[in-house]
Amino acid sequence: MAFEGLAERLQSTIKKITGKGKVSEQDVKEMAREVRLALLEADVNYKVVKDLIKRIRERAVGQEVMESLTPGQQVIKVVKEELTELMGGEQSKIAVSDRPPTVIMMVGLQGAGKTTTSGKLANLLRKKHNRSPLLVACDIYRPAAIKQLETLGKQLDMPVFSLGTDTNPVEIAAKALEKAKADHHDYVIIDTAGRLHVDGDLMAELTEMKEKVQPDEIFLVVDAMTGQDAVNVAESFNEQLDITGVILTKLDGDTRGGAALSIKAVTDKPIKFAGMGEKLDQLEAFHPERMASRILGMGDVLSLIEKAQETVNEKQAKELEEKMRTMSFTFDDFLEQMDQVKKMGPLDELISMLPGANKMKGLKNIQVDEKQLSHVEAIIQSMTKQERQDPSIINSSRKKRIAKGSGTTVSQVNRLLKQFNEMKKMMKQMTQVQKGKKKGKGMK
Ligand code: GDP
C-alpha cells in the first residue's frame, strides 16, 4: 500500500502532540520540522513541502489553536486540512456533457497504465453511473495496444472501436465519435498512443486530436511508482495539452506517495481517480480528504462502507439476518459470506482503511493469509450438501474424507468445525440479547 512510510512517520510525529493540553510555539516548530522531513522522504516536491509547512506553521501557532480546548488535536486538524487541500480539496467529479457523448481522451507515457485504465474507467462508468461507453483504440503505432484494448473490451463485454493501424489516429477518433452518436453511447473513451518520453510528434498528434474531437476531459494517466518523474511528466503534458485531470495508477504498489501529494500543487489539476491494482474493478474515485485521513492513521471508514455497499446487497443482508436469528446459518452461508468479503478486495487493503490500523502492532504485522482462507473454502467445498447443512453429522471417517478431498489435514477440518460452532454460539447470544432488548429487558 502506498504511503506506508509516510503514514508511519507522520503518525509518530503527531502522537507526540495529540494529548497536549498546551502547544507551545516550540512544539509546533518541532512538529513542522518532522512533518517536513517525512514529506521530503516520501518524495514530495521540495517547493510543495516548503509552502505546506509554512501554512501549517502559520495556522498552528495562530489564533485557531490557541483558542481551542485541545490544542494538540487542533494542530492535527490543521495538518489534515492542509494535506487534504494539497491533494485537491474537494473530490473532483467526472464531466458530463450536455450534448452527449461525453468525450474523454486518455493520454500518458507508455507503460503508465493508459490502456488498462481506459478499460477500468469504462467499467466504472457502466457499473456505478449506468453509462454506456465506447472504447476507442488510437494507438496505431503499437498493434499490441489495439489488441490489448480489444481483449479488455471482450472481458468487459463492451464495444471497442478500432480501424487497425493504417488510419490516422485523429481520423479514427473523429469516426469513433460519429459511431458513438449513431449507436447512442453516452461516453467515448479514447486510448491514445504513448511514448517512452514526452516527445514533440506525440504532442502534435494529441493537440490535433484535441482540436478535432473537443474532449470534455483529457485525463493524464501517470504511474505513481515513478515518483518525481510523474510530476515532471504531468507538468509537460499539462503545458502542452491543458489536461483536465490526472489518474494515478499503481497506488497499490510500494510507492512513497510523493506524486499523489505533489501533482495537484504543481499542475493545479485534480487527481480524479486512483488505480489500486491490475484488475478491472480496481479503480477508485480519488477523495483527497479520505486519503489524508488514511495517511494520518485516521482510517478511511467511508470508503470501507462504500465497498461493502457495493458488494453486499440489501436482500442478501436481510436473509442473513433472518438466518442468524433462526439459527439456520449453515456452511453454505459461511461460504457465501467469504465470497462477499473477498469481492471487496484484498484483505490487507481493507485493513489499511481501518482507523489506527497502522498503529496496532498486531494488525500491522498481520500477514493476511489468503492461502488459509482458500483452505477454509476447500474444506467447505469438500463437504456434502447434507454436511454443510448439518455439521453435527461429520464423524471421524467423514472428517478424513473431507481432509483428503480438500488437500488439508483432519486437524484443520476440526479447527474449522470448532470455529463454526463458536460462531454459531456467538450468534445465538447476540440474537438473545437483541430479543431481550426488544422485550424491554435489556442487559443488566
Ligand atoms: P499503457 O502502455 O499506458 O497502455 O499501459 P498498460 O495499460 O499496458 O499497463 C502497463 C502495466 O501496468 C500492465 O501490466 C498493467 O496491468 C499495469 N497496471 C495498470 N494500472 C495498474 C494499477 O493500478 N496497479 C497495478 N499494480 N498495476 C497496474
Distance 39 CA to ligand 1 centre (A): 26
Which residue has the least CA distance to atom 12 on ligand 1?
113
Which residues' Cβ are closer than 6 Å to ligand 1? 108, 110-116, 194, 249-250, 252-253, 275-278
Distance 70 CA to ligand 1 centre (A): 45
Domains of the chain listed by start with CATH number: 4-86 (1.20.120.140), 102-298 (3.40.50.300), 313-340+369-438 (1.10.260.30)
| 139 assigned to a ligand binding site | no
DSSP states along 110-141: TTSSHHHHHHHHHHHHHHHH---EEEEE--TT
d(CA 286, CA 51): 23
The pick from 278, 279, 282, 286 for probing ligand 1's pocket by mutation, whose C-beta has the most ligand atoms within 8 angstroms, reads 278
Q: Which of 350, 348, 380 is nearest to 367 (CA)?
A: 348
CB 219 within 8 A of CB 238: no
d(CA 186, CA 95): 12
- Which atom of ligand 1 is the closest one to the Cα of 108? 3
Distance 343 CA to ligand 1 centre (A): 21
Task: Please state whether beta strands 271-275 and 283-285 pair in parallel, antiparallel, or not at all (unpaired).
Answer: antiparallel
Phi, psi of 361 (to 5 degrees): -55, -50
| 72 assigned to a ligand binding site | no
Looking up cell 504511474, which residue turns up? 223
CB within 8 Å of 71: residues ≥ 6 apart? 20, 21, 22, 23, 65
Radius of gyration of the chain (CA): 26
| 253 assigned to a ligand binding site | no
| 255 assigned to a ligand binding site | no
Which residue has the least CA distance to atom 27 on ligand 1?
278
Per-residue model confidence as pLDDT tens for the chain (444 residues):
567 778 888 878 877 776 676 777 888 888 888 888 888 888 888 888 999 899 888 887 765 555 554 666 677 778 888 889 988 888 778 889 888 899 999 999 999 999 999 999 999 999 988 999 999 999 999 889 999 999 999 999 999 999 989 999 999 999 999 999 999 999 999 999 988 888 889 999 999 999 999 999 999 999 988 888 888 999 999 999 999 999 999 988 777 778 878 898 889 999 999 999 999 999 999 988 888 887 777 766 666 666 666 666 666 666 766 776 677 778 888 887 777 777 776 666 666 666 655 555 455 445 556 677 788 889 999 999 999 988 999 999 999 999 999 999 999 999 989 888 887 777 776 666 555 554 443 333
Grid coordinates standing for 273? Answer: 481517480
Task: Please state whether beta strands 245-249 and 217-223 pair in parallel, antiparallel, or not at all (unpaired).
Answer: parallel
Strand order in the sheet with 160-161: 160-161, 133-137, 187-191, 102-107, 217-223, 245-249, 271-275, 283-285
| 325 assigned to a ligand binding site | no
